[in-house]
Amino acid sequence: MRIPWTGLLLNRTAEPGLRIRDRESMLIKKIRKSLEDIENGDYGICEDCGKDISTERLKARPVTSFCIRCKTKRETLEKLTGK
């Protein structure tokens, strides 16, 4: 699978003296995880149910770890528990 945003990211993080804000560092952690998953061949597989995440969803949210069903379930739970 060709992932067009990885090259972009590597260029950005390789920039010396770049200050990373908290929100961005969270995102970078997620992206690093995605890159590890790509290397391990686990990219695009839902962490909850182990099924493939749809290509459309990966295009919209490349760093997602969950398929749309599990993500929706989690968001509903988060709302219910008030997090």
Give CA–CA dist 9/31, Å, rounded.
9
Binders of Zn ion among residues 36 to 75 (CB under 5 A) are 46, 48-49, 67, 70
- Which CB atom, from 13 or from 72, has the smaller least distance to Zn ion? 72
- Which CB atom, from 26 or from 49, has the smaller least distance to Zn ion? 49
Concatenated DSSP letters for 12-45?
Answer: HHHSTT----HHHHHHHHHHHHHHHHHHHT-TTB
Please tell me the count of residues contacting Zn ion according to CB under 5 A. 5
Binding site for Zn ion (CB under 5 A): 46, 48-49, 67, 70
